[in-house]
Chain A
Amino acid sequence: MTRYLLRRGGQTLLALLGVSVVVFALIHLVPGDPVRIALGTRFDPETYEALRRRMGLDRPLTVQYLSWLADAVRGDLGVSFRTGRPVTELLLERLPATFTLAAAALTVALVVAVPLGILAALRHGSLVDYVATVASQIGISIPDFWSGIMYILLFSLTLGWLPPSGYVSFAEDPWGWLSHLILPACTVGLVSGSILFRFVRSAVLEAMNRDYVRTAFAKGLSRWQVTVGHVLPNAWIPIVTVVGLQLGFLLGGVVVVEVIFAWPGLGRLALLAVQDRDFTVLQGTVLYLAATFLLVNLLVDLLYARLDPRVRYD
């Protein structure tokens, strides 16, 4: 186990290092001079030189990279070109919204996919199975930014049940928080749920066709006892992997849904940074999100190895 842990950890570190190189290269590949962009109309040669030196842009690239990396490791991601505020501060400000949406979407996905997936597998070939499978196929093909707009059209503009967009903190107004959360969480969660459903269904189906299940039936256990005692404990290992991967995606990839619902999360921060050409913020956000994605994947692998005794560690 220790060897496996070290190897997977090493791989993740290596990938992180690669990610940091790509992210650092971002700012240096951008056409146009970041200092000029930062200064905007307040341009004069003296401030230009001073700012260039203060940002360290007069040093060789490798030195710039190493010092940027050293700062980043200590949690210092530089200062926003536009607002002058520390990037880390901007990220921390938006973390709660991103985490809330990811957790809520994952809950929706699990609540929809797990019971339906188990039911569809147990009633393999039935009407329930057929309808749920077709629904999941549709769910996978619908772009979340379109379903999001359609939900707003139906539940906010037509029925008036829920607010169309925005974010309210829980401490401020718990009901407002929930009512703003429902539509974006369902938009993202139903797509993830469609993916998850197919995994749950096939994992349960596979477990049901094993010899030990036949044995369990043969020794006279009821359908319920076999399902709970033998099928599910073996089916949930692959499911954990998919849930983990979905979580990694939810934490980093819901840019468009955040835009639609004016959700103040990290994805929207990245997009605003692109529009403002605020490259330190873009760098910081992309680095943070890719690192989270990698770490979640690492955790999933370790959890998987822990849950499934058959996984070889070396």
Chain B
Amino acid sequence: MTERTGSRWAAIGRALLSNRLAAAGILVLTALVVTALVAPIVAPYGINEVDISARLAPPSSSHPFGTDELGRDVFSRVLLASRVSLQVGFVAVGLALMAGVPIGLVSGYRGGWVDTLLMRTMDVLFSFPAILLAIAILAVLGPGIVNAMVAIGVVYTPIFARITRAAVLSEKEQVYVTAAKAVGATDRRILATHVLPNVAAPIIVQTSLSLAFAILSEAALSFLGLGVQPPDPAWGRMLAEARGFLAEAPWMGVFPGLAIVATVMAFNFLGDGLRDALDPRQRSVIESRMGR
């Protein structure tokens, strides 16, 4: 390949931006990250600023998304909750990457009994419906935001291990690996500096898609009372609280849900776009969602 790495990434960037859905995804995600960063400054009210006189008030100019049963501003809470969702999503997927990618690299590169042992272990984790495994892990660790990150991370580890392993299997037969071996490079060096960059594409795509599912999982766990705990706001918890007031204050449930939908859709669009730009052969978002 004579092309410089810089121009390769520039080409991928151009391909992404020319894909309308992916560009929309990037736009929404940028807005979301900025919102999460500036939320404490721009939110008109505090997270737990109670105003009993304005209980269950419908959307108005002073409360654009209305207020909840304690008179708290739903708009401010939705803004501030974006921090938690993004944080849980990034940390959980980061954990899954840090565990899954090395497992996949070693498994695919070594082969033999190491491969069998690691992959059968991943199969066991894959045998549980995702949300059930997360619930079971939280039953042991106890509810909470950190434990939710760990639980989601464990649930999404096998998919990274499998994808990495599959990519390594085809990559390790390439001439450049033989060449690196011939000049005496260690296995660790071959994996880190030669194989990993070449199997990065499917991993990057899966990262974006997994972020969408991780945010959905966090919302589900928080909805069930196992994730983010009071007084921190989380979109899932806000939905759970809204259930009791659906008839009087539907806005309590509508806006946090819309925030989840927008975020998840943006990550899905970005993931699909990345797949088209980086790795057209790879399976799409829906396939990786099959074993939810």
Contacts and interface: CB of A to CB of B under 8 A. Distances in A.
Say whether chain B's binding surface is mostly helix, strand, loop, or mixed: helix
Size class of A's contact patch?
Answer: 35 or more
Nearest to B263: A141
A138 B21 CA distance: 12
Contacts of B120: 14-15, 18
Interface stretch (A37-45, A89-97, A253-261, A305-313): A253-261
Shortest beta-carbon contacts, A-B, top 7: A18-B124, A253-B129, A146-B257, A252-B129, A141-B265, A141-B264, A274-B139
Given A149-B246, A198-B286, A18 B127 contact: yes
Interface stretch (B54-62, B172-180, B212-220): B212-220
A145 B139 contact: no
A101 interface: no
Most buried by A among B212, B236, B257: B257
Interface in B237-267: 239, 242-243, 246-247, 250, 253-254, 257, 260-261, 264-265
Given A22-B124, A143-B220, A290-B132, A153 B246 contact: yes
Given A143-B216, A256-B224, A19 B124 contact: yes
Interface in B90-139: 120-121, 123-124, 127-132, 135-136, 138-139
Interface string A110-152: 0000000000000000000000000001101111011001101
Interface string A172-214: 0000000000000000000000110011000000000000000
Interface of A: 11, 14-16, 18-19, 21-23, 26, 29-31, 137-138, 140-143, 145-146, 149-150, 152-153, 157, 194-195, 198-199, 242, 245-246, 248-249, 252-253, 255-256, 259-260, 267, 270-271, 273-275, 277, 279, 282, 286, 289-290, 293-294
A253 B213 CA distance: 14
The residue among B216, B224, B257, B286 with the most chain A CB atoms within 10 A of its own CB is B286
Chain B interface size range: 35 or more
28 contacts: A18-B124, A18-B127, A140-B289, A143-B220, A145-B219, A145-B223, A145-B236, A146-B261, A153-B246, A194-B286, A246-B290, A248-B129, A249-B129, A255-B220, A259-B223, A271-B135, A273-B139, A274-B139, A274-B226, A277-B139, A282-B139, A286-B128, A286-B132, A289-B128, A290-B128, A290-B132, A293-B127, A293-B129
